């Protein structure tokens, strides 16, 4: 398999990609078009505004890029692994500096990142079952990983059969024993010299058990190169062929029948994965046969990592936290409810309408008598003595100040001190770094009201991910 290592949002020319993929113009164009439709690849052109380019790309010299854009330039808005025919793309997050060196470390960073993405996705929806991209595009890699992890947790699909014996080692069937055997009485108590017992035994020849074993084996064999990168051992437990199970329509029919009578959740999920695998049309063109494990929304992953590791309390009830808030004394009030909702007043009638939504901070933590406010930002900021680049916008800074102002009364009522107000950004380094602050003079002219400057803190990703996966 042709394995290529790329970086999220790094511009690549059509010529560079052609050399990497070893494809003809038409083939590469077809693949890039498919990836664009999946919101994974984006074509850059001179029509794209400078502001959009600065926001999108992780480069310092836009003038150089403009020269390069005489030809076609592409970026990958994606983190994870993509398989297109016999090509495997490994795409690292934008904050990873020496991403090419990870291969020599047995893809340590990659494996951790994939684990983090899968954990996040499993919280949001069942991987391979609920993701809209995956519903529209068959995803062999994701389905295979799901089947493997499910196999190690639950084993092969089973339809146990009951074996009834006389005087066996299993559970006694008292009703059958009483109805069909003679009772002998001792001190007025019935004694049965013979009993009927029941044992549960795996039906090794069960159709779905064999189908499960066959599909896992076939899927692993087709992806063995990729699985080896992820340190996942191939499962080889079947010598069956597709012909042993009937045609595609028959297999799907049998699975649907089994689903209608199966109420165990993990078994239902296995059956759905098997059906998804069988239903795939292998006659698709290469450009339509794209398999992946990853995300084009790594910012959401980073937010969840920060929320979990920092022990976010925003969705916990005020009462549960042992705190109070006189302005909202509902028993069910959450910490997020401290921020009031906008009111809209109709001029003529004077009727006031309360909006359904309001501002909600990413993360609020309460440790002892200290309250901290954080906003997880998936930015690769450059802040030093020469300037600032790739930083959050004015709206983001303003919101952080507003959060602090909003929580001041709550903190005072509960004798809490607002300790920190900060942006949390990823770094490839090993230590946490406070690179500076963001401030706006308007928020420091509020009389006796004191607010913090917004700290910019780089959090070491590998350590953050380790804690996230352990949680």
The pLDDT tens digits of the residues spanning 108-162 come to: 999 999 999 999 988 876 444 444 444 455 688 889 999 999 999 999 998 765 6
Pairing of strands 290-295, 171-172: unpaired
Helix and strand numbers, DSSP H then E, in the chain: 15, 21
pLDDT tens for 249-272 read 999 999 999 999 888 899 999 999
Q: What is the mean pLDDT of residues 418-434?
A: 96
Which residue has 């107000």 as its token pair? 421
Cα–Cα nearest to 421, from 434, 409, 412: 434
Supply the pLDDT for residue 253.
Answer: 95
Which residue has 């297999």 as its token pair? 251
DSSP bridge partners of 334: 317
Q: What is the mean pLDDT of residues 314-319?
A: 94
Over the Cα atoms of the chain, what is R_g?
A: 29
Give Dmax over CA atoms of the chain in angstroms.
Answer: 103
CB count, 10 Å around CB of 201?
11
Which residue has 């063995």 as its token pair? 224
Report residue 329 as tokens: 């004394």
Intra-chain end-to-end CA distance of the chain, in Å: 35
**464: pLDDT confidence band, cut at 50, 70 and 90?**
very high
- Is residue 415's pLDDT more than 50? yes
Secondary structure of residue 272 in the 3-state scheme: helix
Distance CA 30, CA 49 (A): 26
**71: pLDDT confidence band, cut at 50, 70 and 90?**
low
CA-angle at 55, arms to 67 and 302, nearest 5°: 130
- Is residue 67's pLDDT more than 50? no
**457: pLDDT confidence band, cut at 50, 70 and 90?**
very high
Report residue 298 as tokens: 């790594």
Distance CA 82, CA 63 (A): 31
**206: pLDDT confidence band, cut at 50, 70 and 90?**
confident
66-70, 170-174, 330-334, 414-418, range with the lowest pLDDT: 66-70
Cα–Cα nearest to 70, from 8, 19, 11: 11
Contact 432, 457 (CB under 8 A): yes
pLDDT tens for 156-202 read 998 765 666 777 777 787 887 788 888 888 888 888 888 877 766 55
Q: What is the mean pLDDT of residues 44-67?
A: 55
Distance CA 254, CA 210 (A): 13
Q: Chain-wide mean pLDDT for the chain?
A: 87
Supply the pLDDT for residue 160.
Answer: 67
* Spatial CB neighbours of 315, under 8 Å, sequence gap ≥ 6: 334, 335, 336
CB count, 10 Å around CB of 418?
20
Supply the pLDDT for residue 195.
Answer: 82
- Is residue 62's pLDDT more than 60? no
């Amino acid at each position: 398999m042709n394995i290529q290592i790329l970086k999220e949002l790094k511009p690549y020319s059509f010529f560079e990609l052609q050399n990497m993929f070893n494809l003809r113009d038409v083939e590469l164009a077809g693949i890039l078009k498919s990836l664009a439709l999946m919101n994974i690849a984006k074509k850059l052109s001179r029509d794209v505004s400078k502001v959009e380019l600065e926001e999108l790309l992780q480069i310092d010299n836009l003038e150089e890029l403009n020269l390069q854009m005489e030809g076609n330039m592409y970026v990958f808005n994606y983190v994870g692994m993509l398989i297109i025919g016999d090509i495997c793309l490994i795409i690292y997050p934008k904050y990873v500096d020496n991403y090419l060196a990870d291969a020599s470390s047995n893809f340590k960073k990659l494996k951790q990142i994939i684990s983090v993405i899968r954990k996040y996705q499993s919280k949001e929806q069942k991987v391979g079952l609920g993701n809209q991209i995956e519903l529209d595009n068959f995803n062999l890699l994701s389905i295979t990983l799901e089947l493997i992890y499910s196999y190690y947790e639950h084993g092969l699909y089973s339809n146990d059969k009951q074996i009834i014996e006389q005087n066996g080692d299993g559970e006694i069937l008292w009703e059958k024993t009483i109805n069909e055997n003679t009772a002998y009485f001792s001190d007025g108590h019935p004694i049965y010299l013979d009993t009927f017992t029941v044992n549960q035994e795996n039906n090794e020849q069960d159709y779905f058990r064999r189908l499960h074993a066959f599909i896992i084996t076939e899927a692993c064999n087709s992806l063995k190169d990729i699985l080896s990168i992820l340190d996942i051992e191939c499962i080889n437990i079947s010598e069956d062929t597709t012909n042993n199970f009937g045609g595609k329509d028959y297999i799907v029919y049998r699975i649907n029948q089994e689903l209608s009578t199966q109420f165990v959740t993990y078994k239902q999920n296995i059956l759905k994965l098997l059906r998804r695998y069988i239903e795939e049309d292998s006659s698709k063109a290469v450009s339509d046969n794209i398999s992946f494990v990853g995300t084009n929304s790594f910012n959401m992953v980073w937010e969840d990592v920060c929320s979990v590791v920092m022990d976010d309390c925003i969705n916990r009830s005020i009462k549960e936290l042992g705190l109070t808030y006189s302005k909202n004394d509902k028993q069910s009030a959450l910490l997020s409810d401290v921020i009031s909702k906008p009111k809209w007043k109709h001029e003529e009638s004077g009727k006031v309408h309360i909006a359904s939504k309001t501002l909600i901070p990413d993360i609020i933590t309460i440790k002892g008598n200290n309250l901290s406010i954080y906003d997880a930002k998936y930015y690769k900021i450059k802040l030093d003595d020469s300037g600032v680049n790739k930083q959050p916008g004015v709206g983001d800074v303003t919101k952080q100040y507003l959060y602090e102002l909003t929580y001041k009364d709550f903190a005072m009522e509960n004798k809490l001190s607002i300790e920190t107000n900060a942006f949390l950004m990823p770094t490839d380094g090993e230590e946490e770094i406070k690179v500076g602050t963001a401030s706006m003079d308007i928020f420091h002219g509020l009389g006796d009201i004191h607010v913090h400057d917004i700290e910019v803190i780089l959090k070491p990703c590998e350590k953050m991910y380790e804690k996230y996966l352990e949680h």
